[in-house]
């Protein structure tokens, strides 16, 4: 669509679909505008006060016109709705095999944390052609992760993990904006998405001065925050073992069963008494307000890494 003078093509898996939707909406709108403004112009000229043209009798059964244009409008609107909704459902449904990267937003910077422990500020390096899933958290107010070239945006709301995924189609550097007003330097809370070829991406990962992996850092937090006192194998306290929990259904004391996803793990750390695993006493202390989003993401990464460990292993 380079023929539109101010238009820049998109660079993610759905950007062409979004652009096609735009062209569809634009075409329908321009046709409606031309029809309406054309009729208005013709009527104003033809039926101007001084023109001698014969006026038709007022329309009998005007409700036929009403039904005609109401149903035509409703039909066009339903088509627009269905097109946009079906694409929306696809945009926000992540694939299973995505590479997960954590993003923490705070006034006024973006911090990305790769699974290997590499960290970067106001930049995000990703490999081309690979599905990337961002797990996003905010340390303070609401921000919004917006990459115009990918036609993608999602708010980052404090108090919850939010996820967004994309596949970049070509290498290059793309603008990242904060799209939700967040205070003084909102307009400076920008960054770049650097899309690299797979080999370059591996080189980049290696060149970073990384600490431990996120899961390893999570493991040491797990000990320093005292979690291991109850949850570690061999503990005398009656607390759930966490090996093999992530990704599996968890029966709760109220009889419901919930999937142990990122949100469940997060909520169970912050507000452990809201969803109690069946067969356990609500004795865990509340961690809300005690740990930062960075620490939470590491703990979740550690518990995720236990997903494949044998449940109840000693």
Partner 1 sequence: MNAHAPVNYLTTDYRLSSWFTTTDHKRIAILYFATITLFFFIGGMAATIIRLELATPAGDLVTSDVYNRLFTIHGIVMVWLFLVPSIPTTLGNFLVPLMIGARDLAFPKLNLLSWYLFVAGGACVLYALFVGGLDTGWTFYTPFSSTYSKGNVFVAVLGIFIAGLSSILTGLNFIVTIHRLRAPGLTWFRLPLFIWAIYATAIILVLATPVLAMTLLLMTLEREFGVPIFDPARGGDPLLFQHLFWFYSHPAVYIMILPGMGVVSELIPCFSRKPIFGYKFVAWSAISIAIVGFLVWGHHMFVSGQSVFAGVVFSLMSYLVAVPSAIKVFNWTATLHGGWIKLDSPMLYALGFIGLFTIGGLSGLFLACLAYDVYVTDTYFVVAHFHYIMVGATVTAYFGGLHFWWPKITGRLYPEYWARAAAIVIFFGFNLTFFPQFILGVLGMPRRYHVYPAEFQVWNVLSSGGAFVLAIGYLMPLIYLSWSIFWGKRASANPWAATGLEWQTLSPPPKYNFAVTPTVVREPYCYTPEALPQNG
Within 242-271, the residues that bind partner 1 by CB under 8 A are 271
Q: 140 or 212, CB closer to partner 1?
A: 140
Binding residue for partner 1 (CB under 8 A) from 11, 13, 91, 104?
A: 91
- The helix (run of H) or strand (run of E) holding residue 282 is none
Is 85 a binding residue for partner 1 by CB under 8 A? The answer is: yes
88-96, 117-125, 219-227, 248-256 -> range binding partner 1 (CB under 8 A): 88-96
Site for partner 1 in 134-153 (CB under 8 A): 140-142, 144, 146, 148-149, 151-153
Binding residue for partner 1 (CB under 8 A) from 9, 183, 229, 282?
A: 183
Contacts of 70 (CB under 8 A, 6+ apart): none
Is 281 a binding residue for partner 1 by CB under 8 A? The answer is: no
The candidate with the shortest Cα–Cα distance to 195, out of 57, 12, 16, 17, is: 12
Q: 93 or 97, CB closer to partner 1?
A: 93
Is 285 a binding residue for partner 1 by CB under 8 A? The answer is: no
Tokens standing for residue 286? 């509340």
Binding residue for partner 1 (CB under 8 A) from 180, 243, 262, 294?
A: 180
Instruction: Give me the half-sphere count of Cα atoms (radius 13 Å) on the Cβ side of residue 124.
Output: 32
Beta carbon of residue 225, minimum distance to partner 1 (angstroms, whole number) = 17
Determine the Cα–Cα distance for residues 18 and 134; give it in Å rounded to an integer: 20
Instruction: Give me the half-sphere count of Cα atoms (radius 13 Å) on the Cβ side of residue 100.
Output: 19
The candidate with the shortest Cα–Cα distance to 204, out of 263, 273, 116, is: 116
Determine the Cα–Cα distance for residues 299 and 102; give it in Å rounded to an integer: 12
Beta carbon of residue 56, minimum distance to partner 1 (angstroms, whole number) = 5
Is 89 a binding residue for partner 1 by CB under 8 A? The answer is: yes
Q: Is 309 exposed, middle or buried (0-12, 13-18, 19+ CB in 10 A)?
A: middle
Beta carbon of residue 172, minimum distance to partner 1 (angstroms, whole number) = 15
Binding residue for partner 1 (CB under 8 A) from 94, 115, 116, 158?
A: 158
Q: Annotate 133-176 with DSSP letters as a single string.
A: EEEEEESSS-EEEEEGGGTEEEEE-TTS-EEEEEEB-S-EEEEE
In the stretch 43-82, what mask flags binding to partner 1 with x, by CB under 8 A? xx--xxx-----xx-xx--xx-xx--xx--xx--xx-xx-
The candidate with the shortest Cα–Cα distance to 302, out of 234, 232, 249, is: 232
The candidate with the shortest Cα–Cα distance to 183, out of 139, 135, 151, 153, is: 139
Binding residue for partner 1 (CB under 8 A) from 1, 9, 34, 36?
A: 36
Beta carbon of residue 16, minimum distance to partner 1 (angstroms, whole number) = 12
Beta carbon of residue 12, minimum distance to partner 1 (angstroms, whole number) = 11
Binding residue for partner 1 (CB under 8 A) from 104, 124, 168, 178?
A: 178
Is 23 a binding residue for partner 1 by CB under 8 A? The answer is: no
């Amino acid at each position: 669509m380079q023929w539109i003078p101010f238009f820049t093509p998109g660079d993610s898996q759905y950007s062409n679909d979004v652009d096609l939707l735009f062209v569809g909406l634009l075409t329908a709108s321009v046709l409606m505008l031309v029809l309406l403004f054309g009729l208005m112009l013709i009527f104003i000229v033809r039926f101007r006060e001084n023109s001698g043209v014969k006026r038709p009798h007022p329309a009998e059964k005007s409700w036929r016109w009403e039904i005609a244009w109401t149903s035509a409008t409703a039909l066009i609107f339903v088509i627009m709705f269905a097109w946009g909704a079906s694409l929306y459902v696809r945009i926000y449904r992540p694939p299973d095999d995505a590479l997960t990267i954590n993003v923490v937003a705070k006034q006024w910077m973006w911090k990305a944390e790769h699974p290997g422990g590499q960290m970067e500020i106001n930049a995000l390096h990703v490999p081309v052609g690979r599905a990337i899933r961002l797990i996003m958290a905010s340390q303070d107010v609401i921000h919004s992760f917006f990459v115009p070239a990918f036609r993608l945006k999602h708010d980052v709301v404090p108090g919850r993990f939010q996820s967004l995924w994309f596949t970049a189609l070509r290498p290059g550097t793309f603008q990242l904006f904060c799209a939700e007003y967040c205070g003084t330097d909102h307009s400076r809370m920008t960054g770049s998405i650097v899309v690299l070829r797979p080999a370059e991406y591996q080189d980049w990962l290696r060149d970073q001065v990384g600490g431990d992996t996120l899961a390893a850092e999570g493991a040491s937090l797990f000990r320093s925050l005292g979690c291991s006192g109850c949850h570690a194998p061999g503990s005398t306290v009656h607390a759930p073992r966490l090996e093999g929990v992530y990704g599996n259904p968890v029966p709760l004391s109220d009889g419901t069963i919930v999937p142990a996803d990122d949100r469940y793990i997060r909520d169970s750390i912050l507000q452990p008494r809201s969803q109690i695993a069946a067969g356990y006493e609500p004795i865990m202390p509340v961690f809300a307000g005690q740990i930062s989003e960075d620490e939470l993401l590491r703990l979740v990464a550690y518990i995720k890494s236990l997903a494949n460990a044998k449940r109840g292993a000693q």
